[in-house]
Every structure is written in structure tokens, then in C-alpha cells.
Structure 1
Amino acid sequence: MKRTEIKRRPLADTVLATLEPDTKEYREHDGNSLYLRVRPDGNKSWQLRYKKPDGKWSWLGLGSYPEVGGALARQKAAELRADSAQGSNPLATKRARKAAEMEAASNTFERLAREWYASKRKNWSSGTAVRTIGALELHVFPVFGNRIYQEILPMEWMEFLRSMELKGIIEQTSRVRGMCREIYDLARVTGRATHNPLEGLHKFLQTKPVENYAHVSQEELPPLLRAIRAYPSAPDIRIGLHLLSMLACRPSELREARWSELDLEKALWTIPSERMKRRREHLVPLPRQAVQLLRDLHYLTGNYQLLFPGRSDTTKPRSNTVFLMALRRLGYEGRQTGHGFRHIASTILNEHGFDENHIEAQLSHVKDGVAGVYNKAIYIKPRITMMQWYADHLDELERGNIVQGHFGKAI
């Protein structure tokens, strides 16, 4: 549209979008001293004509079009005219508003959360870091990301967390609450907040369901071991389930394992610190059954860096639900999880009189203390003996040669 074709003001949105440039720059009046400036190259921007305190007229830019639409430009112009009517310099008040907007942008919950994440991630495994920022981006930032964190009320956090509970993701809700509480703690200890709106909310929320680490009873363990042995789908996942049942490791530790971590000749698996929950290198003895399973797996995935490479991207491990889904296919949904094998191993080994310190070391439950530097090979010789006994014991259970009482209390 040519400027000579304009019939009314304020300028309609269609006029703003189609107004054509001329050989020279020109300004088209929108109304109330607000103008749309059109350059020969087609760029458009808003300007307000105002009188300075010395009585001279000047121009004040209000932003480029279409980033600043007509409605927003008129709103900005009205605010600045009001300031001028009260004796304020529109240029000074515009700068003050800009400074306030920038300060507000730096006080958003997302900005604070990403600062917290950056300070914590160096102490996490890569998996923990991905899960943490993923949960914030998926659940929290869409709701509170652009809010000024000091203005979010405890009641709003309660309503948000309860809405997550209604989706059935109880454990995720608990983790998100813990993250956000720590994020506010960062603001509080650095003098940017005086209270934490998430304090005490856990008293009114559901707790993590026991099924999260579900594990079968003693009577159900032999059939489960036989079902794993006969797993009909992917052979690598069958081997993975068998190793999980035998080694008492965390599912993520096995799923993300690399061939370079294994020494099958020495029957040892060294899990690097960056993949461990406590950021400490961990040594896992491999019973002869595990060594054979790993040799079988090497025929399948030995050409890759990972033991369980992804299907679409072999540089990344299989999905974090791959073992859980396999157990579901075997009919054990809600009855057995990958993590639940750790509970079973702990219970059986404790009931058969193995040293609690050896068991805790195998589970990488070593407590922080004053003893000094953590020893990754702590109790390695008795653990080699213990885990070979455990692998043999599972074989006997699978064959049905052992009958024993119910499992004790799970850890």
C-alpha cells in the first residue's frame, strides 16, 4: 500500500504490514504524536514526537515494527505522554522502564534455576544432569519460568505440584519439588530472597510409591529368572536383564556402560566417577557367569563403544526405560523393576550372613566419613567371593534346587 492510499488513523494492522517504502525516508502519523517511520530499505519503526524540558521538539524511538505492533506502540506512547504531562522527561522515564524490565528479566525463576543448575551439574553424572534440566524444562519453566521468583506464592507451588500428582507421576513430583526448594535456597543464601515458598509443602503432598523399586517375593524369583533366560525379543536386552539380576548395579550404570570400562580377563568392571551417583569411581567384580554373558554380548555390540547402543544413534545408550519395558513384556509390570534387583541381592546376601560392609560396598553405598580418600577397591577380595556365590545361588534358584524363606525387609 502506498502512503497516499491511507484513509484513516490510527493505522490499521493491514496498513502497517503493507505500507510501501519511498525513495526517501518518511514518517506516517498514527495519532497523538506517534509516528511510523519507514526507511527506503523497507525497515519500519515507531517514534514519539515530544517536547523536551527546554521547549525544543525531539523524537523518541519506541521499537521496530513488527516486533512492536501498533497496539503496543500506542500503549508505550500513552505511558510516556502521561510522564511528560507530569513534568517528567519521557527519555528518562523510558530508560528507567527499560532498566526495570531488565532487572525483572534477571529475577525470573528460569534465570535463577539455570544459575542453580550450572553450579550443581559439575557434581552430577551426565544422566542426572540431563534428567534434571529436562524435568525443569518440561514441567516447571512453562508455568513459572517467566515469573519473578520472589512473587510466586506457596499456594501457587502447591497447586502446581498437586496438578503433577494428578498425572500419576508421584516420584517426578517429589524430585521437582526438591529441585525447586534447592533453587530457592540458592536465592536465600545469596541474599536475593528472604524465605523459601516450598518449605513444608512435602507434608501435604503424596510420597513416592513403594512400587518404584518393586521386587518379587522369594517364590516369584525362580520363575522370573527363568523368564529372563527365555526372553523372546532382543538378545542384548535379555543379557542386560540377566546381568542386572546378578551384579546388583543400578540400571543406568549398566545401560550407559562402555566396553572400555571392562576387563574381562581380570573379571572386573570399573565404572568411572562421572557415571556414579556419588561421583566416585566404583569397581564391580564379575562372576564367571557375567563374564560369559559379556562375551556373548560382545559378539552383538562389540563394534560399538557402548554395551547397549541406541537403535537410531549408536553413540547414545538405549532408552532409560528399556529394561523396565522388557520386564513389563515378561508380565512383571508393578512387580519388578531393574533397581529392584539391588534390593533382592541385598536381602539374600544379608540373610546368608555376608558382611554388611561388603554388601554396602558392592551396592556403592559407602558413607561419607572422616576416614579419608575413598578406596574404589574396598573389600574387593571378599566381594569377588561373595558375588560368585550369589551368581551360583541364582543359578540354583533358576534350576529349582533351592527352597528358602521369605525375603526380609528391603532396603
Structure 2
Amino acid sequence: MEKRFRFTNDKIRALPPNPPDARGTDMEFSDSEVMGLKCLVGKSGNKRWLLRYRSPSGKRRSIALGRFPDMDVALVRKVARKQLTQIAEGIDPLEVRDEVKTQPTLSEFFWDTHFPLIKTRNRTWKQDGQRFRTLVEPYLGVVRLADITVAQVQQLQLTLSQGVKGRSPLAPATCNRALALLKTIGAHALRLGLVEVNQAAKIPLLQENNIRTRFLDLDESKRLLVAAAEFKNRSIGGLVAMLLLTGCRVSELRLATYSNLDRKNRVLTIPHYQTKNKQGRLVYLTDKMLEVLDSVPPKEGNPYLFPGRLAGKPLNNFRVAFDRILRAAGITDVENICLHTLRHTTASNMVSAGLPLSAVKAQLAHQSIQSSERYAKLTPKSLQQTSEQVSKLFSD
């Protein structure tokens, strides 16, 4: 049987299996058109493509190209010629393939390299892990890190924002958090030299319009304090009241322990690892605040000021209870109010009472006065007072 001929699909299809008693596993045939292109026929009749060549260093090597009929003759010749061009340019295609195999996928890089790093640096590492697992990994996880394109990142953004079958469109803010995570991952890979370009950095964030303008006025705030004091779960009622009285973030108070409380000096210490800006601060306690803290009975073995139901754990997942407190206070639009609204309310009421923005900045531990200024803009009472003062300028 002729072992060297011009390959065609019909001739390859007609090749018989390698005899069962043959010494070798495969019978080899050579293409007369492309040097080094081989077709290996096994004893079961399966046919696979192989390219034999000499590497730029002179070593005899071979690289698998695929199987027939998955790859027909025209396609395998095209691939083989591309490999031979690389060899002529001094590139060994086998080394290139092995190098590609060592390149991590996006999932491998995230979980093996990026995630362990952010666990030591970011307070939101758990959210980042969940965000990657649910929003990014299902679409780009198997893609090699170096192969991710701008078009793929753009398509992910469109998929999340417009929705797909079985998945509703997500809010712009949620889509932006996923894209921001990809940008951060890309920047990390760029620093390590694993990619040449951070492709995600080329995609702009979506415009967000989710700024909350709802806050409780002074009358609503007073009613809420009463409802919180009467709520049967004193741990939840006490936390809601303290959030409103102090303007602290939920995590700052929820994770506060008895070791952070100095009753003698009337101070609650918020450690740096519980604050957003990673700077510890002091909350000066009033008689009213101490009264609220005293109304929360401690649980044996639980170090938290606002203990949860689980032994040794703080409060968690009490949105339903918060809604009940709001309704008990006569506040019905609960869908427009979240726990963070109470921090917003504290600042807004401070501005309405005429306190300077510097006081708001200090009470809420803002890093810049610009963060405090937004509350002045959102306070109708302060704007009304300003209008009255302007009018008085022309009334004399």
C-alpha cells in the first residue's frame, strides 16, 4: 500500500484500519503536498492528524493536530502550514502550545491568586467572591486570562444589564460592581505580567441613578425611636435606635462588643477594621444612648452589644423586623427605606437643625467635607431656611 500520496477526504476515508497483528499501534501515511503532515490510522480504524518537524534547535518533534473527520483535509493543511510558518520564524509550535496550557483561566487566576490577596486587604472580599461566582464566572470563567477580549467584557455587561433567558436584567449598580471587579482582576494580572492589556479597563461603567433621597424627618425619627423601644426583640430595637441616634454604619454597631464600650468615659470605640475608611474612631455616648444600650439584655457567652439568636454571634438578617418597626412608627413606604437610611437621616436632621457641615463630618466620620455636603442639598428644611434668609435681604 502506498504510504505517501496527495491527501483527499475520500482517500483518507478509504484507508483501512491498521492490522490487528501489526507491531505498531498506528499505520502512518504522508501527505505529498504539505511536508511533515501525517495521517495515523489505528487498529480500530480511527484516524488522527500529526505534524512531524524539526524544531528551530534541530530536534525531531511532532504535534497532534486533531482527528478526521472532525478536521478535514483542507482545514488540517491550513493548520499545518501555519505551524510550519512559525517554525520558519524560529518558533516551536509545541512550546507555544505548552505555554498556553500553563496560562490560567480567569477562574483559576481569581481563586488561586487574586482571591487570597484580597482576603488580606479588602473588607468586602466575601462580597467580591460571591459577585465573581454568580455574575462573572458563569460567562468568562473558562476563558484563558490572556485571551479575554474587549468584546467579551462588553458582552458580559450587556448580558447582565439586559438579562437573558432565565435571568432578569440587573440594576446598573450591580452590573458596575461586576465590571469593577473585572477591572481590578485585570489590573492585578497586568502587574504580574500575565496580560499585556487590561481589557476590562476599556469598558465604561453604566450610568447609575440609584441615589436614595428618602430620609426620615424629625417627627418620623421620634416615632421610630418609640417603636424601636417597644419592639419585643430588644437587641433589634436597640440597634435600630442606636443607628438613628449615632449615624453609625450598620456594620460598625452590629459588630460592636462589650470590650469596645467604656461606660466610665461614655465612649464606644469603633476599631479600624470595622470602618469603611479603615480608620478607628470614637462615638461619644449621651444619656439617651446609654439608656438604649442598657435596655438590651446581654447573653451569656456572647461578646456583642447586640447579640443575635445564634450562640456567640451578632445580629444578622433582621430586615423583616426592621420593616415591622417602621410600620409600628406609622411609616408605610418601607420599600424606600433601608437601614442605611437611618445614617442618612441623622445627617439630614443635623443639617436641618442648623448644625455646621463640619459637625456632620465629625459625627458620621466622613473622610471629606464633600461627603457631608450632599446631605445639605437633600434637606428641604435647610433649603427653605436659606430661601427665607435670601428673601429677608430684600425686605428691609
Q: The TM-score by the shorter chain falls in which range?
A: 0.5 to 0.7
Q: Flag structure 2 segments of 5+ consecutive residues without an equivalent.
A: 1-16, 29-41, 66-91, 162-167, 370-378, 385-396
Q: How many residues are matched?
A: 299
State the Cα distance separating 1:246 from its structure 2 match. 0.7
Name the structure 1 match of 2:14.
Answer: none
Name the structure 2 match of 1:304.
Answer: 302
Name the structure 1 match of 2:381.
Answer: 406
- Note if 1:107 corresponds to 2:109: no
Distance 1:78 1:206, change over 3 A: farther
CA distance in 1, matches of 2:269, 2:96: 53
Amino acid at match of 2:344: H
Q: Which aligned pairs between 1:146-161 and structure 2 lie closer than 5 A?
A: 146-161=142-157
Name the structure 2 match of 1:19.
Answer: none
CA distance in 1, matches of 2:233, 2:337: 19
CA distance in 1, matches of 2:26, 2:196: 42
Name the structure 2 match of 1:345.
Answer: 346
Name the structure 1 match of 2:194.
Answer: 192
CA distance in 2, matches of 1:78, 1:360: 75
Amino acid at match of 2:353: H
Q: Deviations over 1:29-60 (max 9, x none)?
A: xx8699xxxxxxxxxxxxx94799xxxxxxxx
CA distance in 2, matches of 1:173, 1:310: 32
CA distance in 2, matches of 1:33, 1:361: 87
Provide the aligned C-alpha RMSD in A.
4.0
CA distance in 2, matches of 1:111, 1:300: 45
CA distance in 2, matches of 1:277, 1:250: 9
CA distance in 2, matches of 1:308, 1:78: 70
How many percent of aligned residue pairs carry the same amino acid?
19
State the Cα distance separating 1:245 from its structure 2 match. 0.6
For residue 116 of structure 2, the aligned residue among 115, 118, 123 is 118
State the Cα distance separating 1:282 from its structure 2 match. 1.6
Name the structure 2 match of 1:286.
Answer: 285
1:214 and 1:337 in contact (8 A); partners too: no
Q: Deviations over 1:295-329 (max 9, x none)?
A: 221x2435302234443x4344333x42x433333
Secondary structure at 1:184 match in 2: helix
2:53 and 2:62 in contact (8 A); partners too: no
CA distance in 1, matches of 2:300, 2:160: 41
Q: Deviations over 1:258-285 (max 9, x none)?
A: 2221122322111211222122222111
Amino acid at match of 1:144: L
Deviates more, 1:106-115 or 1:233-242: 106-115
CA distance in 1, matches of 2:313, 2:47: 55
Structure 2-normalised TM-score?
0.62
Name the structure 2 match of 1:58.
Answer: none
Q: Deviations over 1:328-351 (max 9, x none)?
A: 333442322211222222222234
For residue 138 of structure 1, the aligned residue among 134, 144, 157 is 134
Secondary structure at 1:334 match in 2: helix
1:270 and 1:283 in contact (8 A); partners too: yes
Distance 1:172 1:265, change over 3 A: farther
1:273 and 1:279 in contact (8 A); partners too: yes
CA distance in 2, matches of 1:260, 1:32: 80
CA distance in 1, matches of 2:119, 2:209: 24
Name the structure 1 match of 2:8.
Answer: none
Secondary structure at 2:199 match in 1: coil
2:247 and 2:364 in contact (8 A); partners too: yes
For residue 322 of structure 2, the aligned residue among 319, 327, 332 is 327
CA distance in 2, matches of 1:50, 1:97: 21
Distance 1:99 1:282, change over 3 A: farther
CA distance in 1, matches of 2:239, 2:50: 70
2:103 and 2:146 in contact (8 A); partners too: no
Name the structure 2 match of 1:317.
Answer: 314
Q: Flag structure 1 segments of 5+ consecutive residues without an equivalent.
A: 1-30, 35-47, 53-72, 369-403
State the Cα distance separating 1:242 from its structure 2 match. 0.7
CA distance in 2, matches of 1:162, 1:314: 44
Secondary structure at 2:335 match in 1: coil
- Note if 1:216 corresponds to 2:213: no
1:259 and 1:302 in contact (8 A); partners too: no
1:218 and 1:406 in contact (8 A); partners too: no
CA distance in 2, matches of 1:152, 1:50: 38
CA distance in 2, matches of 1:33, 1:365: 81
Name the structure 2 match of 1:62.
Answer: none
2:217 and 2:349 in contact (8 A); partners too: no
State the Cα distance separating 1:290 from its structure 2 match. 1.5
State the Cα distance separating 1:177 from its structure 2 match. 1.6
Name the structure 2 match of 1:42.
Answer: none
Structure 1-normalised TM-score?
0.60
Secondary structure at 2:334 match in 1: coil
2:352 and 2:381 in contact (8 A); partners too: no
2:103 and 2:145 in contact (8 A); partners too: no
2:50 and 2:64 in contact (8 A); partners too: no
CA distance in 1, matches of 2:19, 2:323: 69
For residue 82 of structure 1, the aligned residue among 46, 50, 53 is 50
Q: Which aligned pairs between 1:7-406 and structure 2 lie closer than 5 A?
A: 49=25, 82-83=50-51, 89=61, 100=97, 103-104=100-101, 106-114=103-111, 115-125=113-123, 128-165=124-161, 166-199=168-201, 201-203=203-205, 205-207=206-208, 209-211=210-212, 214-217=214-217, 220-231=220-231, 233-297=232-296, 299-301=297-299, 303-311=301-309, 313-319=310-316, 321-322=317-318, 324-329=319-324, 330=327, 331-367=332-368, 406=381
CA distance in 2, matches of 1:96, 1:264: 72
CA distance in 2, matches of 1:85, 1:188: 35
CA distance in 2, matches of 1:221, 1:149: 51
1:270 and 1:284 in contact (8 A); partners too: yes
